[in-house]
A and B are shown apart, each in its own frame.
Chain A
Amino acid sequence: MALLQISEPGLSTAPHQHRLAVGIDLGTTNSLVATVRNGISVVLNDENGRALLPSVVRYAADGSVTVGEAAQAAQSDDPANTIVSVKRFMGRSLADIGEISRMPYRFADTPAGEGSKQAGMLQLRTVAGVKSPVEVSAEILKVLRSRAEDALGGELVGAVITVPAYFDDAQRQATKDAARLAGLNVLRLLNEPTAAAIAYGLDNAAEGVYAVYDLGGGTFDISILRLSRGVFEVLSANGDSALGGDDFDQRIHCWLLEKNRLSALNPQDTRLLLTHTRAAKEHLTEHGETRITAMLSTGEVVDNILTRAEFQEMSQNLVQRTLQLMRRALRDAKLGVADIKGVVMVGGATRMPQVQHAVGEFFGQTPLTNLDPDKVVVLGAAIQANLLAGNRGGDEWLLLDVIPLSLGIETMGGLAEKIIPRNSTIPTARAQEFTTFKDGQTAMSIHVVQGERELVSDCRSLAKFELRGIPAMVAGAARIRVTFQVDADGLLNVSAREMGSGVEAAITVKPSYGLSDAEITRMLQDSTQHAQDDMQARALREQQTEAQQLLEAVQHALEQDGELLDQAMRAKIETRMGALRDTLSSSDHLTIRRATTALNDSTVSFAQKRMDKSVASALSGKNISELEDK
């Protein structure tokens, strides 16, 4: 469709060149990678033909790392150094995780960065040192990245990484950091149910309102979407980022402990039993009963028969919880059960008959299970990655997604004041003005929280920061404008500025749970100490390519729309282009990066003018319905 061409002037690479991009589903239990080949989204298998990479990472004393099946096989022998379901720890402090005693890990809580009293993301002590969940996840991503690069025969332009729709800012930031650490350029963080909707919707040319019920290994999402003429519009999202198939395993596990009067198992036996309970759960999908037998390290023997009815009974309240959240999502979308045209089932845990039955009963229709619930998310992510990388096919679609949890700040009395309500379409920004309450007050503390509860203590604390340098005035005279900007990844940026006196102080914060650039650098160095030179060379090459592409893009833009600039602006841009050209032969990638950033900064207002011009020309002379039909 003709409208697309408005983005094209900036496109610097040859248009016929296919840019390698992948979708990655970084799951609690399994992870996958997919790409679009010849217009079809396909999952990339490993050399043994396996699509699913178990999200299991094992650290050895010599610093070597095993990921996937081999690590999974060792989990009962070496539970403390074999990390499973690490997704549950992303962006979480120790206090956030229940049932720590039942987990076979040695945790380390970490204080957050400077100037913050909050606890940071938890860490795991392994035989190879202390590891953050971000580092563990990066190991999984690295394996998928090299699987993709081997299969596609080249370096990736970028990746779309999926996250549960109900992930909060800290969890999203942690995921993005993990991708960076794995050397991936993140084109977008995409909500898992939305990815599934793309795969399903494009496949079936679906129109109407759909519910996506996504029960994964460790997370539950429900999204309500309206699909209409190539637009995927998320109307509401709800969920629980700590509810998934693992909890069903736990129920069986507890039942076994009770039945056999077992208490305080060692980590090996805990892991052994959990492996058996998962197999039992899966067996019950096809059978009426299952037998669980295991010999513990103490010599005790576990041998029990579990029927499907018993399993349903013990997991009933988990299923009920998902239905409650579904009711909330429908209410947020201002819709009833009758408005839902179809229910797409996503995630391995939706194979459980009691889940399918409950969802079917709730909506009064049989849920759609024609796409493999393990693969539908990654297939959708690959389709979106292909689009975002600029590989335009004939089809176009538009995703309008939302922020799942309200964002706010702490006000007097420990209350949370919402600034951006949940289910706001992203990207979005809101500003709110505050004032000083004491004469001569020159600093103000701002506490950013996320969640629906009234009390700050019941919400997730994202960041605390101080705005300093407010000019001394009488109480109430200063006007401090706090702006929340949520980008298309659902990530938050907060800035504050004092407006009253014309003096401006601005600060940008990252969530307390996010990693600082220094930490990322440290981790990158740690992970690449064996291949330092390779990394340097690669970084340099990537930076040179980026710089060259930018130069071409700007040159092209100048030729096409140069008349939009005044002389001073044009001179500034040309000076910086020259400066960037001069750095191209440098062997220091940071020098090139600085010059690239400088050129980028100087072209923002030019880009604005060009976008406005192209929007206007795209709309001119045509009525809207004409445009929409294309």
Chain B
Amino acid sequence: MQPDNLDFQQNHFQLFGFSPSFQIDTAQLEQRYRTLQALVHPDKSAHLPDAEQRVAMQRATLVNEAYRTLHNPLQRARYLLSLHGVDTQEATNTVMPLDFLTAQMEWREAVIEAQQAMDSAALEQLEARIAHETQQLEAQLAVRIDAEQDYAAAAGLVRKLRFMEKLAEEIHAAFDEIDL
């Protein structure tokens, strides 16, 4: 970290004192987040003139955005790849291995069935399964990005992770429907 150069034009990694890599120290992330917010949060300037309040809102918004991006592995990977000029093509590149797609479809059906049956236990099992698969993909991502600098392969993993994230969102929505 080079605090003298600290400004809000830096990328999210620099703002949080990290070198740009997929694996980051989450304890440092949390600590730095709190330190930054303690400095810029709008509550600190509620008694100051408008200009200061506006700036505080912008800065605190940026710190929240950076924290959110770094905190979530998928977003962190996507952001890191974009810094390397790699587009993850999540909307355009839909080529996926057949076994991956088949598994996705099966899981999706299982979520719908569990929701219809109001079966929280089944949803919880699915959630644990998805979380496990997600962690596996994240571990692979760390190798591809940090060790091998194989960004094309990493982009493929990001696309898979996006599928997993969507599944997790569907499970979450199914829980909500049961508890509506």
Contacts and interface: CB of A to CB of B under 8 A. Distances in A.
Interface of A: 3-4, 6-7, 10-11, 19, 157-158, 187-188, 229, 231, 324-325, 327-328, 331, 384, 387-390, 396, 398-400, 424-429, 452, 485, 487-488, 549-550, 553-554, 597, 600-601, 603-604, 606-608, 611-612, 614-621, 624-625, 627-628
A608 B56 CA distance: 8
A612 B59 CA distance: 9
B32 interface: yes
Interface in B41-74: 41-52, 54-61, 64-65, 67-68
B25 to A, nearest CB: 11
A331 B172 contact: yes
Given A398-B37, A628-B34, A612 B51 contact: no
B18 interface: no
Contacts of B118: none
Contact of B34 (A6, A398, A549, A601): A398
B48 A10 contact: yes
B107 interface: no
6 contacts: A427-B60, A604-B55, A612-B59, A615-B39, A620-B4, A624-B35
Contacts of B143: none
Given A10-B45, A607-B51, A615 B65 contact: no
Nearest to A627: B35
B169 to A, nearest CB: 9
Nearest to B28: A624
A400 B55 contact: no
A388 B31 CA distance: 23
Contacts of A553: 48-49
B178 to A, nearest CB: 9
Contacts of B60: 427, 488
Given A428-B61, A611-B59, A619-B3, A7 B45 contact: yes
A397 B172 CA distance: 33
Interface residues of B, number: 47
CB-based closest 7 A-B pairs = A390-B47, A388-B46, A620-B3, A616-B6, A619-B3, A488-B42, A603-B51
Contacts of B52: 7, 10, 607, 611
A608 B31 CA distance: 23
Given A427-B64, A429-B65, A553-B48, A611 B40 contact: yes
A389 B48 CA distance: 9
Contacts of B172: 331
A188 B179 CA distance: 32
A612 B9 CA distance: 10
A628 B31 CA distance: 8
Nearest to A616: B6
B34 A452 contact: no
B99 interface: no
Given A188-B43, A427-B60, A600 B49 contact: yes
A616 B54 CA distance: 19
A178 B67 CA distance: 35
B155 to A, nearest CB: 21
A621 B3 contact: yes
Contacts of B64: 424-428
Contacts of B49: 10, 549-550, 553-554, 600, 603
B39 A427 contact: no
Contacts of B163: none
A601 B6 contact: no
B164 interface: no
B4 A616 contact: yes
Contacts of B180: 324
B31 A6 contact: no
Contact of B50 (A425, A485, A600, A624): A600
A607 B48 CA distance: 11
Given A427-B64, A616-B6, A188 B46 contact: yes
B38 interface: yes
Contacts of B38: 3, 396, 398
> Interface centre among B55, B59, B172, by most A CB within 10 Å?
B55
Given A388-B43, A398-B37, A612 B31 contact: no
Given A384-B43, A400-B37, A553-B48, 18 more contacts: A6-B39, A10-B52, A158-B46, A229-B34, A231-B34, A387-B43, A424-B64, A426-B64, A428-B65, A488-B42, A600-B50, A608-B59, A611-B56, A612-B59, A615-B36, A615-B39, A624-B35, A628-B34
Nearest to B62: A429
A466 to B, nearest CB: 26
A9 B6 CA distance: 20
A11 B44 CA distance: 11
> Interface centre among B47, B52, B65, B179, by most A CB within 10 Å?
B47
A331 B35 contact: no
Contact of B43 (A3, A229, A398, A604): A398
A560 to B, nearest CB: 13
Nearest to A231: B34
B175 A328 contact: yes
Given A7-B45, A619-B6, A485 B61 contact: yes
Contacts of A607: 51-52, 54-55
A316 to B, nearest CB: 16
A595 to B, nearest CB: 13
B106 interface: no
Nearest to B33: A400
Nearest to A8: B48
Interface string B165-177: 0000000100110
Contacts of B51: 600-601, 603-604, 606-607
A241 to B, nearest CB: 16
A387 B44 CA distance: 8
Contacts of A4: 44
Contacts of A554: 49
Contacts of B67: 425
A553 B65 CA distance: 30
B31 A624 contact: yes
A581 to B, nearest CB: 16
A600 B54 CA distance: 10
Contacts of A614: 39
Contact of B32 (A487, A600, A624): A624
